[in-house]
């Protein structure tokens, strides 16, 4: 199929998103596309409210690298951080996950 045929075809789906929501969708999708960050999310799914050390022990990477991945996940809203003294407890952000599922569902 050439480009002209594709442009004349009826779209199978829509993507009515722009601005801040589009940036949010892109940031979350990029975060999910990294195998280590995806592994962290899988770990948090089965170990909610765990501390950083638990996450570090579950991964084949250094603590500093794990912290960088956690930062990306936190910045895009996929995880939440609750600090208590020297402990940092991470958990999945249900609101962000619900939003992401909804937007992806509307696209496809």
- Tell me whether residue 3 is in a domain: no
Which CA distances in Å does 18 have to 4, 21, 22, 57? 25, 6, 5, 39
| pLDDT, block means (10 residues), the chain with 108 residues | 54 74 94 97 92 93 96 97 87 96 88
Contact yes or no for 23/30 (Cβ under 8 A): no
Question: Which long-range contacts does 96-103 make (Cβ < 8 Å, 24+ apart)?
Answer: 96/28, 99/24, 100/25, 100/28, 103/17, 103/21, 103/25
- The answer to whether 55 touches 40, Cβ cutoff 8 Å, is yes
Domain that holds residue 88: 18-107
Structure confidence at residue 16 (pLDDT)? 77
Residue 1: inside a domain: no
Domain count, the chain: 1
């Amino acid at each position: 199929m050439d480009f002209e045929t594709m442009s004349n075809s009826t779209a199978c789906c829509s993507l009515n998103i722009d601005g801040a929501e589009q940036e949010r969708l892109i940031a979350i999708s990029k975060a999910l596309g990294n195998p280590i960050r995806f592994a962290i999310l899988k770990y948090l799914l089965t170990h909610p409210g765990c501390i950083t050390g638990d996450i570090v022990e579950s991964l084949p990477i250094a603590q500093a690298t794990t912290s960088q991945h956690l930062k990306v996940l936190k910045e895009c809203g996929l995880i939440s951080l609750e600090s208590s003294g020297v402990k940092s407890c991470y958990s999945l952000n249900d609101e962000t996950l619900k939003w992401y599922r909804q937007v992806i569902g509307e696209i496809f």
